[in-house]
Amino acid sequence: MKNCIGRIHGGSGRSIRNVFISDYRQRRKVTEIKCIITSEPKEGTRVVLKQTLGKGTYFMGDGDVHFLCGNCNFILAKNVSEEQIQHQFHTPDELGLVLQCPRCKEFNELCSL
């Protein structure tokens, strides 16, 4: 008996598992939320994240929400879930996070859903 989870016939070289994962990602609906542009907060008043090297996404998860820069649409948080938003994006004093966009350098306030 041959192993059924091998390669797809036809020479594409993609495994069956990779095809299913690819199809799932293409069908999943993602909600995109544009952040609110704000001025740079005074030191000590808000939690502000800035990137000194690189231009990557701040947060990644397995949810269905993307947070976009309110100015240039750069993805600041990708595939995050409501739980991540509640636990990671809000500070104990409920002021929320401010992320500086790595692309355009604008300050973005993350809002809750």
- 39-93 pLDDT, tens digit each: 999 988 888 999 988 789 998 998 999 999 999 999 999 999 877 776 766 656 6
* 76, 25 Cβ separation under 8 angstroms: no
Residue 99, domain member (yes or no): yes
Residue 66, domain member (yes or no): yes
Query: So what's the pLDDT on residue 4?
Result: 40
Residue 17, domain member (yes or no): no
Q: Classify 60 as helix, strand or coil.
A: strand
Residue 7, domain member (yes or no): no
Paired sense of beta strands 65-68 and 97-100, if any: unpaired
Residue 68, domain member (yes or no): yes
Query: So what's the pLDDT on residue 71?
Result: 98
Residue 33, domain member (yes or no): yes
DSSP tag of 8: P
Residue 54, domain member (yes or no): yes
Q: How many domains does the chain have?
A: 1
- Ramachandran quadrant class, 13 (left: phi over 0; alpha: psi -120 to 50; beta: rest): left
Range of the domain at 101: 29-109
With a pLDDT cut of 70, the percent of the chain lying above it is: 65
Whether the pLDDT of residue 12 is over 70: the answer is no
Residue 24, domain member (yes or no): no
Whether the pLDDT of residue 107 is over 50: the answer is yes
pTM metric for this prediction: 0.69
